[in-house]
Chains A and B, each alone.
Chain A
């Protein structure tokens, strides 16, 4: 299972997106500043936008799903339970997973943005597609919910998961890192080799690298462990 980008090019007004590379099975993090083109790339990979030139080839991918940055854009039903049902899932299971068991009859727009994000995150993970793309999955979430989202990503255990995020505090264990800057997508490679080349690395990783530590992955605990190792 893989997704190949071949000389991808999309121009919209003054903005141009370019990228090449292959997303293999595993968890990929596409990091970059706000406005760098991450969401546009996500829409391209989901087939919701079409490139001006170049190609996206999906091999062995039979189902694709994109979590949009703004959870309210997913809502198509008048109640929380019906919204969960509109994803083709059993509402009670979704509500339990999203910690919203007693909110089934509520209007989705009466949920806080964090609650709505939890609901949509639960729906996307329970659909379990081959290619799952998460556009800013941690935005609007509190620390505990971010950690829970990280666990869901790590426990997925199959298919291709691509996280598009500028998050620099709570991150999951990933297999590969990509950078997006000014519309240019750059593959940094697999973790841990890619970590020293990562210019958008969170401060705790930069600190660990400065101290001469070599973290195994990109989580805070990986940086801590690496520092502990060199300090004995």
Chain B
């Protein structure tokens, strides 16, 4: 999907639908299968496995306590698939462009800039995890519970330090509030079809459709 505005709309609507009910999750999963590149939009196997395992663990705890464990698992996995697709498709600068288009040059620019920095931070963390893996391998330290804790602390400290450096850089460059960009978007006819489908499916899964048909009858 080329238009980031429609991508964001589809992601939000379908994520809400998936989170709200199991039926919504099934509908969102069907949409994901039809309109996304599916496996090409998944995170790396290790990341996908870890995230799915975390969801499964929470679902198990929920089920053990008498909660809707299976439903939770299905709903959260679908939300994860949608988030992975949206993240994979998002290109640099798109979030800023959408925020400015939606909320203007002041608040929109601020929110967009923060979101862009957050996304860049995710990319940097991924690179730093790879570097840490190489460093551990060179030192002959096996990756395990004992090595993960100091690495996690190091990553957090590095991220805080980087955020501070970026903030100082913005101040040095005279950044105060807001900014001016001219967002341009390309909309493919398939984007419109996908997003309209997402909205319709999202609404149908949220509203009690049976009642609507009774009213019509």
Binding site for B on A (CB under 8 A): 46, 48, 65-66, 68, 73-78, 82, 86-88, 107, 109
With the chains together, A50 CA to B212 CA distance in Å? Answer: 61
Other than the known A74-B135, A109-B158, what 15 A-B pairs have Cβ atoms closer than 8 Å? A46-B138, A65-B138, A73-B135, A75-B135, A76-B135, A76-B136, A76-B151, A77-B150, A77-B154, A78-B153, A78-B157, A86-B141, A88-B139, A88-B140, A107-B157
With the chains together, A65 CA to B135 CA distance in Å? Answer: 10
Minimal beta-carbon separation of A208 from chain B (angstroms): 38
**B138 cross-chain contacts in A, Cβ below 8 A:** 46, 65-66, 68, 74
Instruction: Known contacts A48-B137, A109-B158; decide if A73 and B131 are in contact (CB<8 Å).
Output: yes
Which A-B residue pairs are the 3 nearest by beta carbons? Answer: A73-B131, A74-B135, A76-B135
> Residue B147 contacts which of A48, A74, A76, A88 (CB distance < 8 angstroms)?
A76
> Residue B134 contacts which of A68, A78, A82, A88 (CB distance < 8 angstroms)?
A68
Interface residues in B110-152 (C-beta closer than 8 Å to A): 131-132, 134-141, 147, 150-151
Question: Are B132 and A76 within 8 A (Cβ)?
Answer: yes
**A46 cross-chain contacts in B, Cβ below 8 A:** 138
How many residues from B make CB contacts under 8 Å with A? 18
**A82 cross-chain contacts in B, Cβ below 8 A:** 150
**B136 cross-chain contacts in A, Cβ below 8 A:** 76
Q: List 18 A-B contacts (CB under 8 A).
A: A46-B138, A48-B134, A65-B138, A68-B138, A74-B135, A74-B138, A76-B136, A76-B139, A76-B141, A76-B147, A76-B154, A77-B150, A86-B139, A88-B139, A88-B140, A107-B157, A109-B157, A109-B161
With the chains together, A78 CA to B139 CA distance in Å? Answer: 16
Q: How many A-B residue pairs have CB under 8 A?
A: 41
**A87 cross-chain contacts in B, Cβ below 8 A:** 139
**A86 cross-chain contacts in B, Cβ below 8 A:** 139, 141
Chain B, residue nearest A108 (CB): B154
Question: Are A78 and B131 within 8 A (Cβ)?
Answer: no
Chain B, residue nearest A48 (CB): B134
With the chains together, A221 CA to B127 CA distance in Å? Answer: 42
**B134 cross-chain contacts in A, Cβ below 8 A:** 48, 68, 73
With the chains together, A45 CA to B151 CA distance in Å? Answer: 26
Chain A, residue nearest B128 (CB): A73
Minimal beta-carbon separation of B67 from chain A (angstroms): 39
With the chains together, A141 CA to B170 CA distance in Å? Answer: 30
**A48 cross-chain contacts in B, Cβ below 8 A:** 134, 137
> Residue A78 contacts which of B135, B141, B150 (CB distance < 8 angstroms)?
B150
Minimal beta-carbon separation of A74 from chain B (angstroms): 5
Question: Are A76 and B140 within 8 A (Cβ)?
Answer: no
**B132 cross-chain contacts in A, Cβ below 8 A:** 76
**A66 cross-chain contacts in B, Cβ below 8 A:** 138
With the chains together, A68 CA to B130 CA distance in Å? Answer: 14
**B141 cross-chain contacts in A, Cβ below 8 A:** 76, 86
With the chains together, A77 CA to B138 CA distance in Å? Answer: 14
Chain B, residue nearest A47 (CB): B137
Minimal beta-carbon separation of B3 from chain A (angstroms): 28
Question: Are B154 and A78 within 8 A (Cβ)?
Answer: yes
Chain B, residue nearest A82 (CB): B150
**B140 cross-chain contacts in A, Cβ below 8 A:** 88
**B137 cross-chain contacts in A, Cβ below 8 A:** 48
With the chains together, A66 CA to B139 CA distance in Å? Answer: 10
User: Using an 8 Å CB-CB cutoff, how does the interface string of B140-181 with A read, 1 for contact, 0 for none?
Assistant: 110000010011011001100100000000000000000000
